[in-house]
Amino acid sequence: MQDLLEGYQQTKKMLRALRTLNTDASDRGLLSSMIGDCDYAIEWLQTGRRPGNRRGIERYAAYQREVLCSFEVLDRQPVPPPPRRLVVNDYNRIIQVLNILSGRERACYEMHYAGLWSEYEIADRLGISRDSVHEYLDRAQKKIKKFISKPVQMELFPLE
């Protein structure tokens, strides 16, 4: 490894000397490019990291998100049941829950959970900040949890 590093450093010195002796502009440009490539390789060898990479090997969470699986494990997984169709009671319950939200909360909630939009996309579309979108979604979640937790509300449209 040290021999490789020294070889790049010697090559860089030689290229600099050739660049100072050469008068042709296109050749000087090519030599400068080669010197830049040597600098890149030298920095990589010295640091052990890709030069200019701010979020590469240091970002350990990327490796923690890896999910290793084998096909044998997947074959043993139970098949999820098919999605059930909404009946009138389900539809009425959804409408009742959404009606407790303010207009902006409902818009953000529907775009995020039904439309699968990110908070940044919603903020851009509605012309508000991402923090506002986050606040609207939090408020909507709290209202919905509070509404659903009330036993009287749930009895209006019982589950089938």
From first to last of its 160 residues, the chain has per-residue pLDDT tens of 788 889 989 999 999 998 888 888 888 889 999 999 999 889 888 887 777 766 655 555 555 555 555 566 556 667 777 777 877 777 888 888 889 999 999 999 999 998 889 999 999 999 999 999 999 999 999 999 988 887 654 445 454 4
pLDDT of residue 123: 93
Full-model pTM: 0.45
Report whether 93 contacts 85 (CB < 8 A): no
Report whether 96 contacts 128 (CB < 8 A): no
Report whether 149 contacts 138 (CB < 8 A): no
What is the number of helices (H) and of strands (E) in the chain?
A: 9, 0
Identify the DSSP state of 86: P
Give the number of other CB atoms < 10 A from CB of residue 143.
16
pLDDT of residue 73: 55
pLDDT of residue 72: 60
pLDDT of residue 134: 95
Tell me the two tokens of residue 109.
């909630």
CATH classification for the domain delimited by 88-156, as one of 2.40.50.140, 1.10.10.10, 3.90.280.10, 1.25.40.10: 1.10.10.10
Distant-in-sequence, close-in-space partners of 64: CB < 8 Å, separation ≥ 6: none
